[in-house]
Amino acid sequence: MGVIARYREHLPVGPATPEVDLNEGSTPLVPSRNIGRALGLRHLYFKYEGLNPTGSFKDRGMVVAVAKALESGSRVFMCASTGNTSASMAAYAARTGARAIVVVPSGEIALNKLSQALMYGAKVVALKGNFDAALDAVRDVTNHYPVALMNSINPHRIEGQKTAAFEIVDELGDAPDYLFLPVGNAGNITAYWKGFKEYQAAGRTTRLPRMVGAQAEGAAPIVNGSPVLNPRTVASAIRIGNPASWEGATSARDESGGTIAAVTDTEILSAQIRLANSEGLFAEPASAAPLALLFRLVRDGKVEKDAITVVVLTGSGLKDPDAALKNVEPPIELDGDARTLAKVLKL
Ligand SMILES: *Cc1c(COP(=O)(O)O)cnc(C)c1O
């Protein structure tokens, strides 16, 4: 069952909305076995969003955006993206027989990230200029032609993404004390907060979590309080200088009594490795940013030991193997038999 079928009554869908799903959502809430113990936290969980059909949480919002676009008669979808948004849009377009057009800035075309979009059959256009120019062009086209805009300014994406908050409450029986997640365009923090509040209004949770957002130091507009012209970080999914849902993020932070803070690339990569080699969970660098922030807040005594804490792992580590491989030992090359092997491995 996908998120539309599971949470229909909480979503802007009706009898005229076509059924679309790739079985997205219903991702596991994995209890920590080792990191929680090492930190002295008794109730630490990971919401493993990398297990969505295209490998990131983007599928939750995209399925609703696609269903609504089809409902309004659109058969062509367009977005400016080089990452997970384009992969997700292309998959749901393929699923529903619609056309997908992805516009990327020509200098920054990273083919490995576009391989999913290309495999799902999207048309990929490299436009001269930076990302903002690509987004402007996409907005312009979608304003003048019967083409649906699928970037995060599409409000249906937030609607779909809030279902992750519902799932956490459904599984824990109540909202956690803390929700940690990365913040890029800030659609996801906005969506989770909306989801928790709607569930509270519906009597499904008695309390709300503190929302804790992590940005990367070289791409921390919300932490700095002003846009970043040339955002830089290894965590490409949060390499955003001027978030589309800025306001949503600061409201979530302030209304919940939470915080949004920046972590360094070094902290992000070391959290990513620790998550993989001590929990068996491989997440992309952006997803490790909130874990890096958790390490710091625990060190500073800012998280109570018996707090129920959920860290959202937004995307699969397989999305960006290059980032991960820079920080691990390469395989040993050996010419020999079982005895040499045993000796080298110190068995
Ligand atoms: C899109 C994305 C983010 C950032 O989410 P926003 O809604 O833009 O804040 C973080 N991690 C991954 C893996 C993503 O795909």
249 Cα nearest atom in ligand 1: 9
- Distance in Å from the first CA to the final CA of the chain: 47
Which residue's C-alpha comes closest to atom 1 of ligand 1? 237
Alpha carbon nearest to ligand 1 atom 5, residue: 184
* pLDDT of res. 179: 98
**Ligand 1 pocket: which of 57, 116, 245 to mutate (most atoms within 8 A of CB):** 57
Cα dihedral 246, 252, 255, 258 sign: negative
**pLDDT at res. 311:** 99
Output the CA 289–ligand 1 centroid distance in Å: 11
Q: Report how far residue 74's alpha carbon sits from residue 71's, in angstroms, rounded to the nearest whole number.
A: 7
DSSP 75-86: -EEEEE-SSHHH
C-alpha 134 – ligand 1 centre gap (Å): 19
Please count the helices (runs of H) and the strands (runs of E) in the chain. Answer: 15, 10
> Is any ligand 1 atom within 6 A of the Cβ of residue 233?
no
Q: For residues 73 and 213, what is the distance between their CA atoms, to the nearest angstrom? A: 37
Is 185's C-beta closer than 6 angstroms to any atom of ligand 1?
Answer: yes
| 82 pocket-lining for ligand 1 (C-beta < 6 Å) | no
Q: Is the CB of 135 under 6 A from ligand 1?
A: no
Phi, then psi, of 40 in degrees rounded to 5: 80, 20
Which DSSP symbol is given to 126?
E
- Asked if 171 and 48 count as a contact pair (C-beta separation under 8 A), the reply is no
Cβ atoms of residues 121 and 100 within 8 Å: yes
What is the CA(222)–ligand 1 centre distance, in A? 15
Q: How many CB atoms lie within 10 A of CB 139?
A: 15
Rg (CA), the chain: 20
Ligand 1 site, residue 104, Cβ cutoff 6 A: no
Which pair of tokens denotes residue 56?
């990131």
pTM, 2 dp:
0.96
Is the CB of 84 inside a 6 Å radius of any atom of ligand 1? yes
Sheet of 43-48, strand order: 29-31, 43-48, 308-313, 178-182, 210-216, 259-263
Answer whether 161 contacts ligand 1 (Cβ < 6 A). Answer: no
Tokens, residue 139: 């907005």
Residue whose tokens read 């803070």 = 261
Residue 42 DSSP label: S
Atom of ligand 1 minimally distant from the CA of 83: 15
Tokens of 109: 């075309």
* Strand residue runs (E) in the chain: 29-31, 43-48, 76-80, 99-105, 123-127, 148-149, 178-182, 210-216, 259-263, 308-313
pLDDT in single tens digits along all 347 residues of the chain: 999 999 999 999 999 999 999 999 999 999 999 999 999 999 999 999 999 999 999 999 999 999 999 999 999 999 998 789 999 999 999 999 999 999 988 876 666 778 999 999 999 999 988 777 888 999 999 999 999 999 989 999 999 999 999 999 999 999 999 999 999 999 999 999 999 999 999 999 999 999 999 999 999 999 999 999 989 999 999 999 999 999 999 999 999 999 999 999 999 999 999 999 999 999 999 999 999 999 999 999 999 999 999 999 999 999 988 888 888 888 888 888 899 999 999 99
Angle among Cα 31, 233, 53 to the nearest 5 degrees reads: 45
Q: Is the CB of 286 under 6 A from ligand 1?
A: yes
d(CA 199, CA 170): 10
